[in-house]
Amino acid sequence: MTVITRDPLDVAAPVIELSGARKTYHTGDIEFEALRGIDCRIFPGEYVAIVGPSGSGKSTLMNILGCLDVLTSGRYVLAGEDVSQMDEVALASARNRRIGFVFQQFHLLSSLTALGNVELPLVYAGVAPAERRERAMVALQRVGLGDKSRNHPGQLSGGQQQRVAIARALVTEPAIVLADEPTGNLDSHSTRDVLGMLDDLHAEGSTIVLITHESDVAARAGTVYNVTDGQFVGAGTEIAK
């Protein structure tokens, strides 16, 4: 492993740019600093892993990156848009357009088919039914589940459900795919399956941010950031392949 330093002039503009990111939680009189000044830039096509033990602040960081929460101070620019001062409605729109979430618990709606679940972000984007069905079908085919489009989540294995979730993350063609412990609920076979799929997406040019506490999962990424006590330990660490 080698510590890398980037020359900002020789690459495209960053997808994610965090500067002086701080997040403080208040519980009664007690203040808790979850993030204590993080600077970070992630460029298009990068595969980044954020690792750290529980309580390190990595979940907070994931919420900030995913526009699910806002910073107490500092700046977050996502795909050229400053989202740090956005209100709830604008944040919802930013999530819809820029972020593809993959969660540990899959978070598929059991009342919808696989296709219906993949269509959901497009429903909130106001895409017409015919177009969104077509785009959702393409996304499902991309994760190899074209033949399962009419199945409900309950009729699919854990690995297949997570692949549906990945298709849902891809369908809006987001700036980043944000995967939060995507293999946490999967057996080793499905874990390999899903990680292989993220590798493929990376190879096809997607920007992926993976949050995990498992070092062998993080090892798949190109760059690893270590979070401890709300701060990055060292700079991004490039994994030697």
Residues in the chain, how many?
Answer: 241
Cβ-based nearer residue to other proteins, 113 or 226:
113
CB of 59 to other proteins, least distance (A): 9
- Please list, in sequence order, all residues whose beta carbon lies within 8 angstroms of the beta carbon of residue 165, skipping any fewer than 6 positions away: 101, 102, 103, 106, 107, 108, 117, 182
Question: 195: phi > 0 → left, psi -120 to 50 → alpha, else beta; which?
Answer: alpha
- Per CB under 8 A, the segment of 7-15, 74-82, 91-99, 147-155 that binds other proteins is 91-99
Of 19, 24, 72, 96, which one interacts with other proteins (CB under 8 A)? 96
- Please name which of 187, 217, 239 lies closest in space to residue 51, comparing C-alpha atoms: 217
> Residue 131 interacts with other proteins (CB under 8 A)?
no
The one-letter code for the residue type at 217 is V
Of 93, 151, 228, 231, which one interacts with other proteins (CB under 8 A)? 93
> Residue 11 interacts with other proteins (CB under 8 A)?
no
Maximum alpha-carbon separation in the chain: 55
Q: How many residues bind other proteins (CB under 8 A)?
A: 26
Of 9, 12, 128, 240, which one interacts with other proteins (CB under 8 A)? 128
Binding residues among 135-194 for other proteins as defined by CB under 8 A: 168
> Residue 126 interacts with other proteins (CB under 8 A)?
yes
> Residue 103 interacts with other proteins (CB under 8 A)?
yes
Cβ-based nearer residue to other proteins, 9 or 89:
89
- Please name which of 1, 13, 42, 5 lies closest in space to residue 211, comparing C-alpha atoms: 42
Edge-to-edge strands, sheet with 16-27: 30-42, 16-27, 73-78, 81-82
Q: Which residues bind other proteins (CB under 8 A)?
A: 63, 66, 68-69, 88-89, 92-93, 95-97, 101, 103, 107, 109, 111-112, 120-121, 123-126, 128-129, 168
